[in-house]
Structure 1
Amino acid sequence: MKLASLRTDAGIVAAAVVDDEVVDLSVAAPELPNDAVAILISGEAGAEAVARAIASGKGRRPLNLSELESPVQNPQKFIAVGRNYLEHVKEIGEELPKDPTVFSKWNNTIAAPYADVQVPAVSDRLDFECELGVVIGRRARHVSEANAPLVIAGYVCINDYSVRDYQMMGGQWVLGKSFDGHGVVGPWIVTPDELDPHNLPIRTIVNGETRQSSNTKNLIFTVERLIAHLSGAMTLEPGDLIATGTPGGVGVMENRYLAAGDLVRVEIDGIGAIENRIVAEPTPVEFIGEPAAL
């Protein structure tokens, strides 16, 4: 099953994707939540309701990729993992890590799968990172690797856009990873029954040139290992998003950064693709909002 977030005149609604068509679930199954993650959290009952909606033929129309929003709208936590592919660790000249390298991306980064992505006004060192994303579906703490699959709602493509000079400021990565709109997620959530997360070809294509190409079998720390590690430190909540790391071939290693006009596509076989036109940030204007009403 593939669940998406669809932009309509009535707002953002949950949708199911079937081949080259989309089923607006607010029309075909109005009893369901208008949120893809919430439907997945509801488990078997939600899946059965979606199957009935698909079979009904209601709310069905051709899929327009530009109408898709991020299938994960507002995760409580957007957790990212660095140095988690063999070839990426080799290209940066480091030894294999003994434990996962974990950092965070903030929710302001969440962007639609086909949104424009800005080169920030304060830097010209915008880089790409294709990543397999894991969507958490059940509240979980101290989960074993054996039971980790029980808490996974599904998988997405992520482009962890990174502003490299800001990433290296101050000895931590968070700021360079958290510019507005630099966490592209989509195109939909694919449920775990449809794929093996550790055997998925993954690639980044920039202006038609393949810049990253690997397979998730090359992950150093598996999805299950990451969930066990993270849940030992924090309670994972439904809708939390984990970006599992990027393979070799990132632009910073060749001093090849993204510029306005570039077209960046991330593909993961078995899930789909996300694609972004790179644009320049408009001339910055200082903005201070009105004080909140008491």
Structure 2
Amino acid sequence: MSYISYIHNGQLQVGELDGDRIIPLDGITEIGRATPENVLDQATRLAHRGVALSDVQLRPVVPNPGKIFCVGLNYQTHITETKRDKPTYPVLFPKYASSLIAAGAEIQLPPETQQFDYEAELAVVVGRAGRRIPESSALDHVLGYTVANDVTVRDYQYKTHQWLQGKAWDNSTPLGPALVRPDEVDLSSARITAVLNGETLQDSSLEYLIFSIPRLLATVSEFTELQPGDVILTGTPGGVGYRRDPQVFLQHGDEITITVEGVGELTNTVVREAVAEHAVSR
């Protein structure tokens, strides 16, 4: 089954997708800390209150994760294009919930950057808490999978050896549109692509992940307890805009679609962020 977090008639809700209709789940307002393990499966379906998908406002599939972990350099093609050595330990960095936007929402293009880049990624959503999770049982902690676009401000990313300032901009990371349960998809050789304005710029297979999903769950849970609703972005394949010749960066009006076979298609437009001339902090 596939599930979405959405807004309908001003109410926060979670629903099960049934074709182009949504069946609300009774008493569940969003996928996250309050939806561990089998909560989604066991919730009462309110079929009589079903609505058309086109009549709701999507939210990020996990709107308020406690933690977002991102993995860099997890495909050999991306390592090759960056001219880096193959890592022996996952390259990890954080994002924040304020970075997330929904499928169909506008990716905000900051005025500070000239190097706004896309990154197609599979995202893993945690469903069972765990610390020091054995790799052999790590998949038991997965609630489901969704699609992400790890949009990156490259000219800020490379200001220092740490990547945070290029990765955690507000309203820049689409996540969705739906959560697909693990038993609904075979990821062993699923295709992952990024298509910008109709042109395919990334095209790979999840079989080429260097650090597997179980390995990532085991690694992260060594230093912090994973909680339901935590999200792991598993890395991007080769073909990112910064490493192309000539370089390709996202521009105002662009449409970018990230697809993970069996998981979903995530489409967003890029819109120049409106910033007040004399903006001040509050």
Please report the TM-score for the alignment, with normalisation by the length of structure 1: 0.90
1:70-85 matches, cutoff 5 A: 70-85=60-75
Deviations 1:168-209 (A, max 9, x none): 112110111011111210001111111123321110000000
- Which residue, out of 256, 264, 267, partners 2:256? 264
Assess if the C-alpha contact under 8 Å between 2:37 and 2:143 holds in 1: no
Q: Matches of 1:241 and 1:222 in 2, distance apart?
A: 15
Q: Specify the code of the residue in structure 2 equivalent to 1:8.
A: H
Deviations 1:108-152 (A, max 9, x none): 101111110121111121000010000011110011111101111
Q: Matches of 2:215 and 2:131 in 1, distance apart?
A: 13
Please report the TM-score for the alignment, with normalisation by the length of structure 2: 0.94
Percent identity of paired positions between Structure 1 and Structure 2: 33
Q: Specify the code of the residue in structure 1 equivalent to 2:263.
A: I
Assess if the C-alpha contact under 8 Å between 1:117 and 1:276 holds in 2: yes
Q: What residue is the counterpart of 1:141 in the other structure? A: 131
1:277 maps to 2:272: no
Q: What residue is the counterpart of 1:241 in the other structure? A: 231
Q: Specify the code of the residue in structure 2 equivalent to 1:22.
A: I
1:222-237 matches, cutoff 5 A: 222-237=212-227
- Which residue, out of 118, 122, 133, partners 2:112? 122
Q: Specify the code of the residue in structure 2 equivalent to 1:48.
A: Q
Q: Matches of 1:111 and 1:69 in 2, distance apart?
A: 7
Assess if the C-alpha contact under 8 Å between 2:72 and 2:92 holds in 1: yes
- Which residue, out of 49, 55, 65, partners 2:43? 49
Assess if the C-alpha contact under 8 Å between 2:4 and 2:17 holds in 1: yes
Q: 1:67 deviation in Å? A: 1.9
Runs of 4+ in 1 over 2 A off after TM superposition: 36-40, 196-199
1:175-190 matches, cutoff 5 A: 175-190=165-180
- SS of the residue corresponding to residue 169 of structure 1 reads coil
- SS of the residue corresponding to residue 279 of structure 1 reads strand
CA RMSD after TM alignment? 1.6
Assess if the C-alpha contact under 8 Å between 1:65 and 1:114 holds in 2: no
Q: What residue is the counterpart of 2:103 in the other structure? A: 113
Assess if the C-alpha contact under 8 Å between 1:161 and 1:177 holds in 2: yes
Q: Matches of 2:56 and 2:189 in 1, distance apart?
A: 28
- SS of the residue corresponding to residue 48 of structure 2 reads coil
- Distance of aligned partners of 1:19 and 1:211 in 2 relative to their CA distance in 1, 3 Å threshold: same
- Distance of aligned partners of 1:124 and 1:65 in 2 relative to their CA distance in 1, 3 Å threshold: farther
Q: 1:68 deviation in Å? A: 1.1
- Which residue, out of 150, 153, 157, partners 1:167? 157
Q: Matches of 1:172 and 1:246 in 2, distance apart?
A: 18
Q: 1:40 deviation in Å? A: 4.1
Q: Tell me, which stretches of 5 or more residues in structure 1 are unaligned?
A: 290-294
Q: What residue is the counterpart of 2:81 in the other structure? A: 91
